Amino acid sequence: MKRFWQIGGFIVLLLGSVANTVHAPSSRQFEILKNIEIFTALYKEVNTYYVDDLDPGKLMRTGIDAMMESLDPFTNYISESDIEGYRFLTEGRYHGIGAVSKQIGDYVTITELYQDQPADEAGLKVGDKIVAIDNKSAVGRTTDEVNEILRGYPGSAVVLTIDRPGEKTPIKIRLVRGEVNVPNVPYSGMVSGDVGYVALTTFTRQAGQNVGDAIQALRSENPNMKGVILDLRGNGGGLLSEAVNVSNVFIPRNELVVSTKGKVKDWDRSFKTLNSPIDTDLPLVVLINKNSASASEIVSGVIQDYDRGVLLGQRSYGKGLVQNTRDLGYNAKVKMTTAKYYIPSQRCIQSVEYKDGEPVHIPDEKRAVFKTRNGRKVLDGGGISPDVYIRKPTEEGILKSLIEENLIFDYVTEFCAKTESIASVADFHFENFDGFLAFLKNRNFEYESETERMLTELLEKSSSDGFELADNISNIQKEIESAKQDELQTHRKEIIDLIEKEIAGRYYYQRGMVEMGLRNDEEIREAVTVINDPARYKEILN
């Protein structure tokens, strides 16, 4: 209760502070003051008289989160316990165990390990289910709740009770937390002999320098290098300054990269390149997909607007918003959208509508037209559209279901429990597709196609309207079911590619996944084809 009155006193002081700074309150300012006072009174009354004991901090967090959720998905409250996650997003490092996890069923399950980090060194494996932490049950806890417990000061220890597939009894593993560093350029190398490749996974500190160093090293070792592929697929962004630095690797000094414009005009800024580029002529293909966001979209948009390279893949996410963090006291922060950003053609790529945190598709005819430096037409709103579109079969149908239901992940977990080691990435080939089919059969795998969902809706609608279409729809459903039996074989190659990539990641970590992707990836092959065809490359850009 004492802490509650401290919070209440803080809010009253805040009211007085706001009132003192506003000499002649406008109608809007009066509304702000009035609602703060109402909220303070409500918070006090509920904490004092509600029938059950309440946690004041938890109650306040519920109110704050609800307020943030009414805004865009990128405006968030960052409590003291969230700071480690914030550090990872901005710096690429944090205090913790060095593992990625997600909730699968009732358990938070390890989905990726960072090589030579605490979790890896302690013997944790991908696929391990966290049953308890320091002997306290973790069953039913969310990923955020578990991660909050696992993060902590370097040198402190935590004991995990693990349910590992293939083991009959739970395993206890003691981990010593450390300073976890995750490289933003996990792999660079040559593909197809004379084309370079650089993977950038996040825009944390030194991203621009690391991309530049990687390209210089490739060019030094391969003087006849014809071009380079920059892979931004799945890169959710990061620091705005590093988006400028990565762009500067390919475009000259003093070129505009991005402008920010918001409500507070004094905060509007234009960011230009500051350094000499690594190379302004080397043919460049940038890979993007629906999970390329924010800083990734700045870089890909800049490359497109200046006709510096070819974009290949799928339309990007559509996050054209700038966030700034402001201190709130008690080691808490708010990460708040304060502006929209505009790339050199002056288009804003922000999606105007979201559903469940995902951008809603905007038809091209509703997007404004802008022009690149060479006069090519480009569109604003809803992300960056690639110059060369590649259909992604994993975003639809049976492949999407296999991924979303974690069936490939679970199969590979069983595979690894029985397989101590595999050949090198270059030499490993998965050859037990029938075993995978048997695994799906044992798991009673079924999926409902979009067509089947539409037929179900049609049946319900037709019945309510008095039309008897049940027999007709039943016949169509039988034909669809028959076709679905062959769908796994139809997508055999794509499924094997996914299995091989997951297996490579288990034995050779993030680098192994990238290397396996290079071997199997249709988009990589198409990017190499574009670079090796100078006439087509120039035609796309002109």
Half-sphere exposure of 150 (CA within 13 A, CB side): 29
What separation in angstroms does the CA of 268 have from each of 258, 300, 325, 339, 490? 11, 22, 16, 8, 52
What is the separation, in whole angstroms, between the first and last Cα of the chain? 69
Of 290, 319, 335, 501, the active-site residue reads 319
Helix (H) or strand (E) holding 509: helix 492-520
Of 247, 294, 316, 385, the active-site residue reads 294
Given a contact cutoff of 8 angstroms between Cβ atoms, the answer to whether 233 and 288 are in contact is yes
Closest residue by Cα to residue 389 from 526, 490, 217, 197: 526
Neighbouring C-beta atoms of residue 508, cutoff 10 Å: 18
Residue 493 is a catalytic residue: no
Residue 294 is a catalytic residue: yes
Residue 292 burial (10 A CB sphere; 0-12, 13-18, 19+): buried
Of 305, 387, 497, 521, the active-site residue reads 305
* Helical ranges in 284-432 per DSSP H: 295-305, 397-404, 407-418
Beta strands in 87-204 (DSSP E): 93-96, 99-104, 107-113, 129-133, 136-137, 157-163, 171-176, 178-181, 187-191, 195-199
Pairing of strands 136-137, 129-133: antiparallel
267-285 CB burial, b ≥16 within 10 A, e <16: eeeebebeeebbeeebbbb
Residue 305 is a catalytic residue: yes
What separation in angstroms does the CA of 343 have from each of 155, 213, 271, 321? 44, 25, 10, 12
Active-site residue set: 294, 305, 319
